[in-house]
Chain A
Amino acid sequence: MLSDKARDAIREQMARYPVSRSALGSALYIAQEECGGWIPPEAVKDVAEVMGMEAADVQSMMSFYVMYHKAPIGKYLVEVCQNVSCALLGAHQVVDALEKKCGIHIGETSTDGLFTLKAVECSARCDLAPAVQVNGIFIEKMKISPDEALQLIDELKSKHERGVVEENLYNAVFTPEKAHPSAQKAAHAASGAASGAAGTG
């Protein structure tokens, strides 16, 4: 089910680490990105195949971490922190408002596939309390009120209807070391070799 591009991206991650298994976390992000935000069982098998592991071993990793989704999620993943400072400053009320507005409970996805609501543990932005994230990006507003949370849902709906495409970094895998001059030289050499091969063919 994973494309050749995704498989190559996983192999590139494997080459980054002293021990290739360290790339399993990145591999699961790559699979999740390709599968539209969650990791179906077939993708687990494919990751296992590319990485030379047992599928059960990959599954054991995936099932441990909350950011790998085991079921389809909405286009907008809306997460509300429910830890101490956020709870004291109105997280409960924000969650209530969002549940009513989207017609779903925490943990569910709206029938139109647009929204998944999640209550999360301390998301490390207690200055914003209650902290709200959409696809991992914080709403940079202190003390968001239930009304403002409802507006947020309207804005996201409107964005969707207008076909606004935004970069989603939730599953992003970063390889900054590729900026190194020697890596660029290597890339040139590789493309040179490739075009040379094409010439002889």
Chain B
Amino acid sequence: MPEVKIIRKWVEDPQQAKIDVAMSRGYYADARRAVLEMQPDPIIEMIRSAGLRGRGGAGAPCGMKWGFMPKAPTAERPSYLICNADESEPGTYNNHELMQFDPHQLIEGMIISAYALRVRTMFIYIRGEMVLTAKVLADALAEAYAKGFLGENIFGSDFSTDLILHRGAGAYICGEETALMDSLEGRRGHPRSKPPFPAVQGLYGMPTTINNVETLCNVKHIVAHGVEWYRAMGTEKSTGTKIFSVSGHVNKPGNYEVVMGTPLMELIEIAGGVRTGHQLKAVIPGGSSMPMIPKDVCEQATLDFEGLQKCGTAVGSGGFMVFDDTTDIVQVCEVIARFYKNESCGKCVPCRIGTDFLHKIIQRITRGQGRREDIALLKGTCINLAGEKMMDSRSFCALGDAAAWPIIWGGLKHFQNEFDYWIENRQSPVGLPAGQSATL
């Protein structure tokens, strides 16, 4: 199956961020039609029937999530919609592209979503580090406001909705939806307990829906082309397309959109194949929180929620990192462990302490000081963080799982021989001397 361009159709045109160019390509016609001619509930029903699942990581059914929102919010108890644009999952960079090069696609998707959810105030929580993207998005929002597509009585209807652009300030945890809400409220980004779910008690204690950038972009196309058109793409339970951000040892790193269910190896081909002169070793398909899979599993895998789950990993955020035969898997695990140690918010003990343990143990191994018992220690630490099987979390939020999964269900599951080699020989199995690691 080749690359497709639906959500990414216009991202390579540098003029697309201008509203007049976007409108000449039919943009805002679907939002106008939705607001003027459709009722909110049929739109929610469309999203449900289309089978749209969240593109940010968890893959939750979007229509079901929307269905939990109140049908008649009041001024005292308003509903909110937040676009989660805090793209921070290592290996993922497609939200930035969608916002910087086709911002009106997101804005239009959000207007339709706000109308369906009866939302008077929306937010885009954009990752602080996306400095230029925030500027482009702000300019696009100003254009949409000036045209009357946002604000009071949009498209001349009696529906009003505002969209507030909010910059984060650098914290991975704020991509977790409840931590994001705390951050947006002007606090440290600490996750909240669920339940209550955001649709019941979210931002400022009010009903709130949080959707990823790519998910909201999909909304525009479902409303534009209909449920049948959408369901014709992908598999029964994973409909539509997914953008994968391909990086690492490939010839042409970049964002590529494929129909759900595309064989994993085809995506590597689309990205120019594994670095010339080298062989594939492993892939992390969905951002560093998801376990890596070795070559023989990659050859069986398809890129859809069920397909990757069967292989013991997940679509996640679509951060697709390719490792060739020069890759020291233990060092990759060290980088991943360091990341979660740095980004643990400190709220709960298993995560705050456990992520530090994981990093220290792996670092000891790559410094040539590993001990035989370190393998069992690593496994035990992972279990204390994330349970004995996947989805058996023991931390307050998913960050603890995200720290443990790539180690216990990725590195150790498929490449324990490399950990053993490091411990036995005090050097890298791929020939890198101790101290000259890829890690800082």
B90 surroundings in chain A (CB, below 8 A): 83-85, 121-122, 126
Interface string of A85-101 (1 = CB under 8 A from B): 10111011001000000
Q: Which of A1-9, A13-21, A144-152, A155-163 forms part of the interface with chain B?
A: A13-21
Contact B145 A179 (CB under 8 A): yes
A129 surroundings in chain B (CB, below 8 A): 247-248, 253
Residues in A113-146 with C-beta less than 8 Å from chain B: 119-127, 129, 133, 135-138, 142
A91 surroundings in chain B (CB, below 8 A): 438, 440
Contact B171 A66 (CB under 8 A): yes
A120 surroundings in chain B (CB, below 8 A): 129
> Is B323 close to A, CB under 8 A?
yes
Which of A17, A29, A84, A88 has the most B CB atoms < 10 Å from its CB?
A84
Interface string of B72-91 (1 = CB under 8 A from A): 00000010000000011111
Contact A176 B128 (CB under 8 A): no
A19 surroundings in chain B (CB, below 8 A): 185, 204
Interface string of A180-192 (1 = CB under 8 A from B): 1111000000000
Which of A23, A65, A83, A121 has the most B CB atoms < 10 Å from its CB?
A121
**Please, which residue of chain A has its CB at the minimum distance from the CB of B90?**
A122
Contact B247 A127 (CB under 8 A): yes
> Is A60 close to B, CB under 8 A?
yes
Contact A25 B248 (CB under 8 A): no
Contact B93 A178 (CB under 8 A): no
> Is A26 close to B, CB under 8 A?
yes
Contact B339 A177 (CB under 8 A): no
**Please, which residue of chain A has its CB at the minimum distance from the CB of B346?**
A64
Given A123-B129, A176-B142, are A182 and B152 also a contact pair (CB < 8 Å)?
yes
In the complex, number of A-B residue pairs with CB atoms less than 8 Å apart: 205
Classify the secondary structure of B's interface with A.
mixed
Question: What CA separation (Å) do A137 and B183 show in the bound complex?
Answer: 23
Question: What CA separation (Å) do A91 and B440 show in the bound complex?
Answer: 8
**Please, which residue of chain B has its CB at the minimum distance from the CB of A85?**
B247
B92, B145, B184, B339: the one within 8 Å of A124 (CB): B92
Contact B171 A64 (CB under 8 A): yes
Q: How near does chain A come to B270, taking the closest CB pair, in angstroms?
A: 14
> Is A169 close to B, CB under 8 A?
yes
Contact B163 A177 (CB under 8 A): yes
Contact B248 A85 (CB under 8 A): yes
B78, B142, B166, B247: the one within 8 Å of A126 (CB): B247
Q: Which of B60-68, B108-116, B131-139, B222-230 forms part of the interface with chain A?
A: B131-139
A25, A170, A178: the one within 8 Å of B186 (CB): A25
**Please, which residue of chain B has its CB at the minimum distance from the CB of A89?**
B248
Given A22-B185, A181-B148, are A92 and B438 also a contact pair (CB < 8 Å)?
yes
Contact B151 A180 (CB under 8 A): yes
Contact B327 A88 (CB under 8 A): yes
Q: How near does chain B come to A39, taking the closest CB pair, in angstroms?
A: 11
> Is B146 close to A, CB under 8 A?
yes
Interface string of B163-177 (1 = CB under 8 A from A): 111111111100000
Given A85-B91, A92-B440, A127-B93, are A64 and B342 also a contact pair (CB < 8 Å)?
no
Q: How near does chain A come to B226, taking the closest CB pair, in angstroms?
A: 31
Contact A88 B323 (CB under 8 A): yes
**Please, which residue of chain A has its CB at the minimum distance from the CB of B138?**
A174
> Is A61 close to B, CB under 8 A?
yes
> Is B416 close to A, CB under 8 A?
no
Which of A19, A60, A85 has the most B CB atoms < 10 Å from its CB?
A85
A136 surroundings in chain B (CB, below 8 A): 129, 131-132
A179 surroundings in chain B (CB, below 8 A): 141-143, 145-146
Question: What CA separation (Å) do A83 and B128 show in the bound complex?
Answer: 18
Given A67-B129, A169-B131, are A176 and B288 also a contact pair (CB < 8 Å)?
no
Question: What CA separation (Å) do A67 and B171 show in the bound complex?
Answer: 9
Q: How near does chain A come to B376, taking the closest CB pair, in angstroms?
A: 25
Given A16-B164, A127-B253, A138-B132, are A122 and B339 also a contact pair (CB < 8 Å)?
yes
Question: What CA separation (Å) do A15 and B184 show in the bound complex?
Answer: 15
Interface string of B314-346 (1 = CB under 8 A from A): 000001010100010001100110010011010
> Is B425 close to A, CB under 8 A?
no
> Is A106 close to B, CB under 8 A?
yes
Question: What CA separation (Å) do A24 and B189 show in the bound complex?
Answer: 13
Q: How near does chain B come to A141, taking the closest CB pair, in angstroms?
A: 13
Contact A177 B151 (CB under 8 A): yes
> Is A43 close to B, CB under 8 A?
no
A21 surroundings in chain B (CB, below 8 A): 185-187
Which residues on B are within 8 Å of A, measured CB to CB?
Answer: 78, 87-93, 95-96, 121, 127-132, 134-135, 137-143, 145-146, 148, 150-152, 162-172, 183-189, 204, 245, 247-249, 253-255, 284, 288, 319, 321, 323, 327, 331-332, 335-336, 339, 342-343, 345, 437-440
Q: List 13 A-B contacts (CB under 8 A).
A: A18-B121, A28-B169, A64-B171, A65-B128, A67-B169, A87-B438, A88-B438, A92-B439, A133-B129, A136-B132, A137-B131, A172-B131, A182-B152
Which residues on A are within 8 Å of B, measured CB to CB?
Answer: 16-19, 21-26, 28-29, 60-61, 64-68, 82-85, 87-89, 91-92, 95, 106, 119-127, 129, 133, 135-138, 142, 169-170, 172-183
